[in-house]
Chains A and B, each alone.
Chain A
């Protein structure tokens, strides 16, 4: 195989996976470690990937917007696992905020089942409906203009209300997470709300199933940093986990 062919194949692999290891590449292409290292160096120079210890990770690839309906079926088991992991960070009596989205719904359902007394702020209609089933949970809706495509509320009225409040923990689930681009999403209204929720919380938790890693959406919510704890499922590769830890980004990976 020619060097170019090999490099193209490496790029193609990273389109479907967020990380690859040098050992699997040497195995696959039957070339030396040194050869693979040179390929990866070249590709990193082209901005096609990012080298990490033991291999490489994808560089934020923009993925297309999927509708709320479409996302409801995707990665359900992973979302449930990471919602379970997130529960460990919630205590009775906490005042928390949940944003909208198919991942946060899983967390809302668990909260309804497992907690007796919490105060929950949200801008999601679905979350409100779920939590309204539990008498003892105080629910606050940041209302505003209803956005049917995302089944939540947005706009300046929503922001105004959020900014009047303060929570100890917020749980947001942006569309994409990557080391170089940070947290990103598609709709300006929702991005403003995610930022507002981050601003009013003492501790911020980002819920992102492993498929969201190293991809990006058109608009940035914020950069990653030690103040944001990422919660994800067991599908996140060891490599990526290490890459994040080296960058001092706390990642909580739910056990298999």
Chain B
């Protein structure tokens, strides 16, 4: 098999499996691990993958837009699990802001189950509907123009209102995360709102299901800062967790609790 053919096969395997070990590839393609290592170096220089200890992960892939009902069906269990993990980081009496989207819906439900006294600001009508029946939650919706497609509010009116608020914790649910391209999304309508949610929070929490890793969307929200909190589900490959930890980014999952969880809210 020619090198080029092998490169294609490696890339296709990665596209399906998202991460793979050198040993696995060597076995599958019936070549030595040394050969695989050279292949991986080659492919990395082309930006198609990222080498990690023991193997490789898929490099930033541009995602395409799917509507809300579609996204509600993707990775349901993963989103529900990471939402439970994230909900544990919220304390009684907290003042928080919540993003919109399918993960945010799971997060709102997880929060409701915790039965905490909270003040919650959001621009998502779906999240608001979930929390409005909870007596212990002071709810605030920024209002503005209603996007029927996403069931959110947007536009200058929404941004103006959000600029008047300040919260202890902002929980964002963007579409993609990658070491190279940071946090990104692709809905230009909500991008300024997400930026505003980041600006008005003392502490920033990103809720990202494992399928969003090493992908990028059209609009970059921010670079990955060690000061932000990143929460994902147990389906996230250990390879990614190690890769990110090398860059000082700690990803919190059910199995990897927040290293500073016992710190006072607002200190980080």
Distance of A195 from chain B, by nearest CB (Å): 18
A132-B151, A161-B160 known; A140+B132 contact, CB < 8 A: no
Which of A129, A132, A141, A148 lies in contact with B143, CB distance below 8 A?
Answer: A141
Q: Which A residues between 131 and 172 are near B, CB-CB below 8 angstroms?
A: 131-132, 135, 138-146, 148, 153, 157-158, 160-161, 164-165
Which of B146, B148, B161 lies in contact with A160, CB distance below 8 A?
Answer: B161
Q: Which B residues between 113 and 153 are near A, CB-CB below 8 angstroms?
A: 125, 128-129, 132, 135, 138-146, 148, 151, 153
B70 contacts across to A, CB distance below 8 A: none
Distance of A256 from chain B, by nearest CB (Å): 37
Beta-carbon contact of B140 and A143 below 8 Å:
yes
Beta-carbon contact of B141 and A164 below 8 Å:
no
Which of B132, B138, B148, B161 lies in contact with A161, CB distance below 8 A?
Answer: B161
Distance of B252 from chain A, by nearest CB (Å): 30
B128 contacts across to A, CB distance below 8 A: 125, 146
Distance of B40 from chain A, by nearest CB (Å): 49
B66 proximal to A (CB < 8 A)? no
A128-B125, A132-B151, A135-B148 known; A148+B132 contact, CB < 8 A: yes
A144 contacts across to B, CB distance below 8 A: 140-141, 143, 161
Q: Interface range on chain B: under 10, 10 to 19, 20 to 34, or 35 or more? A: 20 to 34
Which of A132, A138, A140, A148 lies in contact with B157, CB distance below 8 A?
Answer: A140
Beta-carbon contact of B146 and A139 below 8 Å:
yes
The complex places the Cα of A57 from the Cα of B118 at a distance, in Å, of 49
Distance of B163 from chain A, by nearest CB (Å): 10
Beta-carbon contact of A141 and B132 below 8 Å:
no
A157 contacts across to B, CB distance below 8 A: 140, 142-143, 161, 164
Tell me which of A135, A141, A146 has the highest count of chain B C-beta atoms within 10 A of its own C-beta. Answer: A141
A125-B132, A141-B153, A164-B160 known; A153+B146 contact, CB < 8 A: no
Which of A132, A146, A158, A165 lies in contact with B146, CB distance below 8 A?
Answer: A132
The complex places the Cα of A160 from the Cα of B158 at a distance, in Å, of 11
A165 contacts across to B, CB distance below 8 A: 157
A132-B125, A148-B132 known; A143+B145 contact, CB < 8 A: no
The complex places the Cα of A135 from the Cα of B150 at a distance, in Å, of 12
- Write 26 A-B pairs (CB below 8 A) sorted by A numbering: A125-B132, A132-B125, A132-B146, A135-B148, A138-B145, A138-B146, A139-B146, A139-B148, A140-B144, A140-B145, A140-B157, A141-B141, A141-B143, A141-B146, A141-B153, A142-B143, A143-B142, A143-B143, A143-B144, A143-B153, A144-B140, A148-B135, A157-B140, A157-B142, A157-B143, A161-B144
User: Could you tell me which A residues sit within 8 Å of B by CB distance?
Assistant: 123, 125, 128-129, 131-132, 135, 138-146, 148, 153, 157-158, 160-161, 164-165
4 smallest beta-carbon distances between A and B, as pairs: A143-B143, A146-B139, A143-B141, A141-B143
